[in-house]
Structure 1
Amino acid sequence: MPIPSISSTANDNLSAALDRAINNKTKPLGSLGMLESLAKQIGLIQNTAAPSIQDPAILVFAGDHGVVAEGVSAYPQDVTWQMVENFLAQGAAINVFAKQNGIALHVVDAGVNHDFGPRDGLLDRKVAPGTRNFANDPAMTAAQCAAALEHGMALAADLPGNVVGFGEMGIGNTTAAAALMHKLTGLPVAQCVGAGTGLSSEGVLHKQRVIEAAVEHHAAINEPLDVLATFGGLEIAMMAGAMLKAAERHKVLLIDGFIVTSALLVAAKIQPAILDYCVFAHCSDESGHRRMLDHLHARPLLQLGLRLGEGTGGALALPLLHAAVNFVGQMATFESAQVSEKSA
């Protein structure tokens, strides 16, 4: 399985041109704050001093997790397929926010334990009906993990547009994400686990102990793809593949919350330059996400107390990307507006 080749966006000449374009607008230097650094980042990703947002899309990957057998979720596994049905019926938060902001939404069955049959609006890329229970066995075989990665790459390669957001649905996936976070960052499991869909403090402690025991059980596993196969989910693996291919195609990657960032942790271990392409939509209220962002030296655009998933944070952040490129493209310069600049 060839891993996409991702180059750094570093470009001194273009960086200087973008700085001039941004600084010459009719405003005090730096006064648009993070919108200025965002505009520059998008320009470097797109290799142009005139960045734009075209045909933004969000991929929502759904998959089930065998580790729910350990009692790590407040909701039953059936909620995964029921929420996929809700996506298809246009009834979920991500449907509302994507429609509001002109985002094409694609729902992907990566590995849901349910037979949907042929359905309009559902991309069937089911590798298996969920993962195995990683408390006992690796969540995926190496072949299943590779297939999920390849499906993700192919989906991203087929997308038009230059912005791709990522979302997910999968009961039990905060447990998988916390295990990945621990293995890939080295942070203690206690700093990685959270309430997920609404566990009590006792439930969070139980989740922590399940992960700690599983990590000890699979103590020899350390390589990124092996960690992904052992502790991850089919939807997480498919996201990681899509992220890698989207970055190779010089698209902006709009990163959502805790689960999506766990997929990015894997992708960044494989291709560190992928981080140049990532815009971090928000800091989730799920315990551990802030530490993930700190580990990646990431600055999220929003902090709204979200912990829904589905890509909702990415959809809500997209207007800020529009604002960043629009001020570069449409705002007057000091010369064109005949406004006096700051005195030396």
Structure 2
Amino acid sequence: MFASLAEVADFARNAPRFDEVAALAARARQNSLTKPPGSLGRLEEIAEFMAGWRGTPRPAINHAQALVFAGNHGVCVHGVSPYPSEVTVQMVANFEHGGAAINQLCRASGADLSVIALDLDRPTDDFTQGPAMSEADTLSAIARGAEAVNPEADILVLGEMGIGNSTIAAALACSLFGGEPAAWVGPGTGADSAGMQRKAQVIAQGLERHGDAQGMQRLAALGGREQAAICGAVLAARARRIPVILDGFICTAAAAVLHGVSPDLLDHCLIGHASAEPGHRRLLSALNKRAVLEFDMRLGEGSGAALALGIVRAALECHNGMATFGEAGVSEA
């Protein structure tokens, strides 16, 4: 997809934009439906969002795709997770056999799920000692994420799996938006207070080593393959005008690297839910984004994004299925 990480900035300058004409037509339809204007709140906003990105006043979801990317991380040598990296492999097997929460939520919301394991036998390098990934490795993972996106999809749900990746997310967020590492760190898969302190210390070491990293170089320095693949999927979706639902803290932090290149690169993205992981609300504030749901979830896997897909579907059912005042013979105020 890209020959160098610097080319992402070139893509940003020429990326497809929101179709204001389609969105205005969708707004006009909303105002003609048998309800007081604005009475469906964010459902109306979501319908307009979908119209603007799909380029039609009457958008529909005929094919929803869900992608979960999995990777392993060298920083786990510092004990940043109470679970061993082997759990990533075991959970991928669970996804493939249909036994995880994301399988049930995708079935309930009508999304076709694919799980992409990214060299799980080859963890990234420890970012306290050097870059987590080379530029070539980062570009390869970006390309794998991009290639996984079905160009026929009407919406894309993104999630991740990777022991240690809440530390990666906190490191990326802290690099992008500043503050103390401890302000971005949370329990992840169940770290206690000592574990969270250890995560903050490891992040501080990584930022001291890579404090001069800018743009997509942050991803290579501090990220992981699943974070790079998420970025690739977001960019491929943008190229095809496919709206994206990002999951919680880890998924949002991965995509936030693109925001660091150009803030409008995430304009086609919804945030599925506000994670109970404490850094997520801080991250949403920095990105000026509001989550669709607040369900106190912090599972990952794309679970909150898959759940939010049901809300997006409901928004379009109302938008396309409701009668107008004229069709229903109802008098307007």
Question: Which of 196, 200, 222 is 1:204 aligned to?
Answer: 196
Matched, 1:264 2:272: no
Q: How does 1:1-344 map to 2 (within 5 A)?
A: 1=2, 2-3=7-8, 4=11, 5-11=14-20, 13-113=21-121, 129-156=122-149, 158-221=150-213, 223-342=214-333
Q: Does the 8 A contact of 2:258 with 2:266 survive in 1?
A: no
Q: Does the 8 A contact of 2:216 with 2:258 survive in 1?
A: no
Counterpart AA for 2:38: G
- After the TM superposition, which segments of 4 or more aligned residues of structure 1 sit over 3 Å from their partners? 2-5
Deviates more, 1:248-257 or 1:261-270: 261-270
In 2, the alpha carbon distance for the partners of 1:241 and 1:16 equals 30
**Aligned-partner SS, 1:298:** coil
In 2, the alpha carbon distance for the partners of 1:170 and 1:321 equals 27
In 2, the alpha carbon distance for the partners of 1:10 and 1:101 equals 26
TM-score, normalising length: structure 2: 0.94
**Aligned-partner SS, 1:104:** strand
- Percent identity, aligned pairs only, is 40
**Aligned-partner SS, 2:114:** strand
Q: Does the 8 A contact of 1:7 with 1:273 survive in 2?
A: no
Counterpart AA for 1:292: L
Counterpart AA for 1:218: H
CA RMSD of aligned residues (A): 1.3
Q: Which ranges in structure 1 are unaligned for 5 or more consecutive residues?
A: 114-128
**Aligned-partner SS, 1:224:** coil
In 1, the alpha carbon distance for the partners of 2:278 and 2:192 equals 13
Instruction: Kindly state the Cα deviation for residue 263 of structure 1 after the two structures are TM-superposed.
Output: 1.5
Alignment CA distance shift 1:188-1:7 (3 Å): farther
Counterpart AA for 1:109: A
In 2, the alpha carbon distance for the partners of 1:159 and 1:171 equals 30
In 1, the alpha carbon distance for the partners of 2:55 and 2:303 equals 28
Instruction: Kindly state the Cα deviation for residue 210 of structure 1 after the two structures are TM-superposed.
Output: 1.0
Q: Which ranges in structure 2 are unaligned for 5 or more consecutive residues?
A: none
**Aligned-partner SS, 2:226:** helix
Aligned residue pair count: 324
**Aligned-partner SS, 1:301:** strand
